[in-house]
Amino acid sequence: MRLARNSRMICIKTGTPMGEARELMENRRVRHLPVLNDHDEVIGMLSKHDLTDVPKFQDLPVELFASFPAQYVTLDTPISTVSLRMIEARISSLVLVDYSGEAVGIITTDDLLYELSKLTRENEEHTVAEWTGALTNVNTAGEISRRLADIGI
């Protein structure tokens, strides 16, 4: 499947030096960057875990460190499937793809943990739902991504 890039996604192109990728991650406060080819298609994923502090590697291109090919799920993929897929592949993020094949975002283990923490706190006096705008009954990857984006997470 061709993963066309959504213009709102924070991405990095092949050929970009690792030092620049590190700076982008730090400035934008993200831990994953989809890697784009010359046609703006998502072809891989660079994770904060892929970064290195070795000075001589800072000028090397991101594609030497990123994971390929990009792994993805569709907006209607059940959360249980997303979680199992991440566990099986030993990865911490998946590209989120809409029905036309356009990459519209990323779903991460942090997103899944956020939902889990919300579920486990439902019986507490002050629930996560009170300060998030009542995130409830989230069942798909697309729902998590949309609701978290709505509250700025």
Per-residue pLDDT of the chain (153 residues; tens, 9 = 90+): 455 566 678 999 999 999 999 999 999 999 999 999 998 889 999 999 888 888 889 999 999 999 999 999 999 999 889 999 999 999 999 999 988 888 888 999 998 888 888 777 765 545 445 545 554 566 677 887 777 777 666
Q: What are phi and psi of 138, to 5 degrees?
A: -90, 120
The residue assigned the tokens 């705008």 is: 133
Output DSSP code: residue 61: B
Whole-number Å distance between alpha carbons of 63 and 75: 27
Q: Residue 152 sits in a domain of what CATH number?
A: 3.10.580.10
Q: What's residue 1's pLDDT?
A: 47
Asked whether residue 64 falls in the same domain as residue 78, the answer is: no
Asked whether residue 58 falls in the same domain as residue 43, the answer is: yes
Q: What's residue 152's pLDDT?
A: 65
Q: What's residue 125's pLDDT?
A: 47
Q: What's residue 137's pLDDT?
A: 60
Q: What's residue 8's pLDDT?
A: 75
Task: Please compute Rg for the chain using Cα positions.
Answer: 16
Asked whether residue 105 falls in the same domain as residue 55, the answer is: no
Asked whether residue 24 falls in the same domain as residue 50, the answer is: yes
Q: How many domains does the chain have?
A: 2
- Owning domain of residue 55: 1-70
Asked whether residue 34 falls in the same domain as residue 13, the answer is: yes
Residue 16 to residues 70, 110, 114: CA-CA distances in angstroms?
Answer: 17, 26, 31
Asked whether residue 60 falls in the same domain as residue 41, the answer is: yes
Asked whether residue 150 falls in the same domain as residue 79, the answer is: yes
Other Cβ atoms less than 10 A from the Cβ of 118: the count is 16
Asked whether residue 133 falls in the same domain as residue 111, the answer is: yes
Asked whether residue 101 falls in the same domain as residue 65, the answer is: no
Asked whether residue 85 falls in the same domain as residue 57, the answer is: no
Residues forming a β-bridge with 87: none
